[in-house]
């Protein structure tokens, strides 16, 4: 509730800004006051029975991916009609309206533990199964690598499309590319759990990261827009499978009493990758070219696969419900 209200107010106020400084300050406030994805992930993880955790997080990730695909496209089209200020005001209003079903429909189990008497997070993790701290550290670091890789590719795909098509055609093609990529991400998020019936979380993430890395590396080798878009969409599909798989592994590793805190740290790692990816991608692109930057993004995904494949462990399988 706090995240949605904070985000709604700050986004709405962006529509009233009179300078770039005011907009920047409000953007910072939004980042500090919101955090709906981390809160929603923690809530779903703590309230969902363990045997259904992978499926539930996949549905959540799919909804987020669809919103990420539809939102920019709808906002861009509407901005041509009503203007940018109205888009900010409307976005803030939608966030505030979204609190209504959360308030009246979503139920959270009562917490018996008194917050003031709750043990420290690290104490709980150290008292858990041996290796829990290290396992979570590997997963959170791998999440950061995954987001860094994908965010770098997102930024550089736009530049590569500009090189291949020119400014006029790149505008429409970029919108189509990210819309299709968002749909691919959502599709993978909601269907990946079927693979877990035949294999393990580690295998899903390791193989998915390898295929994502190869696709992004291939996007750097693409010589025409069709190949570039196809490679990026394929990479987005495999990225979509990784997001909920990481969340499920973290949810199964972390004790329930500290899951919200652990998911908060996980969200910080993802946010760091979201900011670091375009920075690193831009640095490599400026030094060696956009194509090299895209290939570097693929290498980061392959490094993530190596980290998970070598250093992670399979979480204890949940008991099946009768």
Q: Decide if pLDDT at 134 tops 90.
A: yes
> 112 lies in a domain?
no
> 189 lies in a domain?
yes
Query: What CATH number should be reported for the domain holding residue 237?
Result: 1.20.1250.20
* pLDDT tens readout for residues 45-82: 777 777 777 778 778 877 777 777 777 767 767 777 78
Return the closest-CA partner of residue 66 out of 157, 179, 154, 193. 179
Q: Decide if pLDDT at 116 tops 60.
A: no
- How many degrees, rounded to 5, is the angle at CA 53 between CA 51 and CA 57? 160
> 26 lies in a domain?
yes
**How many angstroms separate the CA atoms of 171 and 164, rounded?**
12
> 113 lies in a domain?
no
State how many domains the chain has: 1
Structure tokens at 214: 């190869």
Residue 320, class by beta-carbon neighbours within 10 Å (0-12 exposed, 13-18 middle, 19+ buried)?
exposed
- How many degrees, rounded to 5, is the angle at CA 128 between CA 126 and CA 129? 110
> 262 lies in a domain?
yes
Confidence of residue 34 (pLDDT cuts 50, 70, 90): low
CB atoms within 10 A of CB 226: 10
**How many angstroms separate the CA atoms of 281 and 154, rounded?**
9
> 256 lies in a domain?
yes
Mean pLDDT of the chain: 85
Q: Decide if pLDDT at 36 tops 90.
A: no
Structure tokens at 248: 């499920």
pLDDT at 167 (0 to 100)? 67
* pLDDT tens readout for residues 198-244: 888 899 999 999 999 999 999 999 999 999 999 999 999 999 889 88
**How many angstroms separate the CA atoms of 148 and 274, rounded?**
6
Q: Model-level pTM greater than 0.85?
A: no
Domain that holds residue 177: 2-107+122-311
> 304 lies in a domain?
yes
Residue 125, class by beta-carbon neighbours within 10 Å (0-12 exposed, 13-18 middle, 19+ buried)?
buried
> 24 lies in a domain?
yes
Q: Token pair 């209504």 is at which residue?
A: 100
């Amino acid at each position: 509730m706090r995240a949605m209200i904070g985000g709604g107010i700050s986004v709405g106020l962006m529509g009233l800004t009179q300078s770039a400084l005011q907009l920047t300050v409000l953007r910072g406030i939004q980042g500090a006051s919101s955090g709906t994805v981390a809160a929603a992930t923690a809530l779903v993880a703590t309230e969902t029975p363990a045997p259904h955790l992978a499926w539930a997080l996949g549905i959540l990730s799919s909804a987020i991916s669809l919103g990420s695909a539809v939102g920019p496209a709808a906002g861009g089209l509407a901005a041509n009609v009503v203007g940018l200020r109205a888009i900010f005001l409307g976005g803030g209003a939608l966030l505030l309206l979204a609190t209504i079903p959360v308030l009246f429909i979503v139920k959270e189990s009562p917490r018996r533990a008194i917050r003031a008497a709750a043990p420290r997070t690290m104490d709980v993790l150290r008292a858990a199964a041996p290796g829990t701290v290290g396992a979570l550290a590997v997963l959170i670091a791998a999440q950061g690598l995954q987001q860094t890789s994908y965010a770098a590719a997102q930024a550089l795909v736009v530049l590569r499309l500009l090189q291949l098509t020119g400014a006029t055609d790149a505008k429409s093609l970029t919108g189509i590319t990210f819309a299709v990529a968002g749909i691919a991400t959502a599709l993978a998020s909601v269907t990946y759990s079927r693979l877990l019936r035949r294999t393990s979380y580690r295998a899903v993430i390791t193989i998915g990261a390898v295929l994502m890395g190869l696709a992004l590396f291939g996007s750097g080798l693409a010589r025409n827009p069709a190949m570039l878009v196809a490679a990026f969409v394929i990479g987005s599909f495999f990225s979509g499978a990784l997001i909920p798989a990481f969340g499920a592994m973290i949810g199964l590793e972390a004790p329930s009493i500290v899951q919200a805190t652990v998911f908060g740290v996980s969200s910080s790692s993802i946010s760091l990758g979201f900011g670091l990816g375009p920075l690193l991608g831009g640095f490599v692109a400026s030094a060696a070219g956009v194509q090299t930057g895209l290939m570097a993004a693929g290498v980061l995904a392959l490094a993530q696969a190596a980290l998970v494949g070598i250093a992670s462990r399979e979480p204890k399988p949940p008991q099946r419900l009768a």
